[in-house]
């Protein structure tokens, strides 16, 4: 388990990449502050979610520099925890429109002992109460 790291949710990265009028400055500021104190991570799901806004992988790599955002593999323990959290969500009447990747992201942070930077903390707080959430 790696501690003190921060998993960066795709919504924060997309805020910056798209220069979102409501969130870009806050998300960029949060990334800058955290980068000074902790390693920042993304996983393949986050990479995939952000990739839809880019035509070429080179553009994506430039937007997500490995010198700032370390690539982390998804452990099978996180997959198991994500599945269980998603099942609990569905049993509580959760909408089918909600996808499993958010649960995987929360589970990944939980398994690694990382904090999670996201501007949508509600579901993470409910299903991954041990994860320290940071909101921009």
> In whole numbers, what is the pLDDT of the chain averaged over residues?
91
pLDDT band at 1 (very low <50, low <70, confident <90, very high): very low
* pLDDT tens per residue, range 94-121: 776 667 888 999 999 999 999 999 998 8
Residue 48 pLDDT more than 50?
yes
Over residues 22-51, the mean pLDDT reads: 95
DSSP string, the chain: ---S-EEEPHHHHHHHHTT-TTTHHHHHHHHHHHHTTS-EEE-HHHHHHHHTT-SSHHHHHHHS-TTTEEE----HHHHHHHHHHHHHHHHTT--TTS-HHHHHHHHHHHHHT-EEE-S--HHHHHH-TTSPEE--
């Amino acid at each position: 388990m790696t501690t003190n790291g921060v998993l960066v949710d795709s919504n924060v990265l997309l805020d910056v990449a798209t220069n979102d009028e409501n969130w870009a400055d806050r998300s960029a500021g949060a990334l800058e502050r955290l980068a000074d104190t902790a390693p920042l991570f993304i996983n393949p799901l986050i990479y995939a979610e952000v990739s839809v806004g880019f035509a070429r992988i080179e553009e994506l790599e430039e937007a997500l520099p490995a010198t700032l955002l370390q690539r982390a593999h998804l452990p099978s323990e996180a997959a198991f925890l994500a599945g269980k959290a998603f099942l609990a969500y569905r049993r509580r009447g959760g909408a089918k429109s909600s996808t499993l990747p958010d649960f995987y992201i929360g589970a990944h942070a939980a398994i690694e002992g990382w904090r999670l930077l996201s501007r949508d903390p509600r579901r993470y707080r409910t299903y991954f109460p041990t994860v320290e959430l940071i909101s921009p």
